[in-house]
Chain A
Amino acid sequence: MIWLTIILMTVIIFFSRYIFIEPKLPLRLSAGMVKFLSYSAPAVLTAILAPIVFLQDNTLHLNLDNSYLIGAVFAVLLILLTRNTLLTAVLSMLLFFLVH
């Protein structure tokens, strides 16, 4: 039963990743659609990170007791100053674990 679950999950997840890069799929992206999709990366990544930063135990934490928020603000400043992804990730993690 566990193997069946694993295999069916694999099929569903692979399908979701593959179907739209299959050229035989009769789908032509219009210029408008391409523009719409150009917003997808920042929008999706933000949608993944926002609840991590602003919510803990399903409560909104918009104050300085929230080490996630402090770390996130620090990360925004760092990336603006340095433009270095790795440095920003590492330094803001260090700060986070110091205040957490």
Chain B
Amino acid sequence: MQDQQADPEQVPQSKLKSALKGAAAAMPLSIAVIPWGILAGSYAIEAGLDMLQSQAMSAIVFAGAAQLVAVGMIKSGVGLTSILLTTLLITSRHFLYGMAMRQQMSPLPLRWRLTLGFLLTDELFAVCSETKQHKFDRWFAFGGGFSFYLIWNIASAVGIVAGQQIPNLDELGLDFAIAATFIALVVPAIKTPSILVSVLVSLVMAVVCELFHIPGGLLIAALSGMTAGMLTAKFTNEAHPNKTLLTRPGDDL
């Protein structure tokens, strides 16, 4: 990751400074995820994974929700095919993130794409989209993604070592930490009536899908919200605030 100097896309800021800014932007999410990391570690041990396997779940699978669900399924003896299909369903929202980041990330060199692709969690997507109006800064994204990765893995290691001594963390209401942080990211992003419509539709659909146990509800809700936002903008002739910035000269639009 040394030879970026010749790159015309290089941001006029020191790499370390950008990375630290990214880490700082991701910090609320990194903190919110600590209890979940601990839970993921201790739950894996409880389910009968050995220490190396438990850490590998966080280090190479690196997917909070999918990890917890898969470990639960391993624990109750569910077959491999079901685990993998469930994983695919839970992870399907990442296809959307990749598509949304395609313009920013696909021109990057291979090792950057592999790195940022691996680190592309809900949280990194949230952090990157928050700063979308600026030019995409790979070091900022790396700082956010990698600091989140480190904290997730350290928290998991703590959970693995503590094992089953961890009390029922999932009953303390720790999921509120995630909700609060996401609220703090979503609300400032509501800059136009169509985004408000998009968020409200997504909210109602997500609650309804969850209430009726509809598989893939998260993606259904998000796509419904996106469609509603798009249609609202169309019928009200709304100009998107980011539109001019999204279409740089030379982009394949």
Contacts and interface: CB of A to CB of B under 8 A. Distances in A.
Contacts of A23: 106-107
A73 to B, nearest CB: 9
Contacts of B70: 5, 9
Interface in B200-243: 201-207, 210-211, 217-219, 221-223, 225-227, 229-230, 233, 240, 242-243
Contacts of B103: 29, 34
Contacts of B201: 43
A64 interface: no
Interface in B138-162: none
A97 B175 CA distance: 11
Contact of B222 (A44, A55, A72): A44
A51 B97 CA distance: 20
Contacts of B173: 67-68, 96-97, 100
Given A2-B53, A22-B106, A96-B173, A42 B186 contact: yes
B16 interface: no
Contact of A46 (B80, B129, B225): B225
Contacts, number: 276
A47 B218 contact: yes
B251 to A, nearest CB: 9
Interface string A28-51: 111111111111111111111111
- Give the interface size bracket for B toward A: 35 or more
B133 to A, nearest CB: 11
Contacts of A32: 230
Interface string B106-118: 1110000110111
A21 B207 contact: no
Contacts of A52: 175-176, 178-179
- Give the interface size bracket for A toward B: 35 or more
B184 A75 contact: yes
B116 to A, nearest CB: 7
User: Which 8 A-B pairs have CB atoms at the shortest separation, nearest pair first?
Assistant: A20-B98, A41-B129, A43-B225, A18-B117, A47-B221, A16-B94, A51-B210, A47-B206
Given A18-B117, A43-B225, 13 more contacts: A2-B49, A10-B61, A16-B91, A16-B94, A20-B101, A20-B102, A21-B106, A40-B222, A43-B221, A49-B178, A75-B184, A88-B180, A89-B177
Interface of B: 25, 27-28, 31-32, 49, 53, 56-57, 60-63, 66, 70, 74, 80, 83-84, 87-88, 91-103, 105-108, 113-114, 116-118, 120, 122, 125-126, 129-130, 132, 173, 175-190, 194-195, 198-199, 201-207, 210-211, 217-219, 221-223, 225-227, 229-230, 233, 240, 242-243, 246-247, 252-253
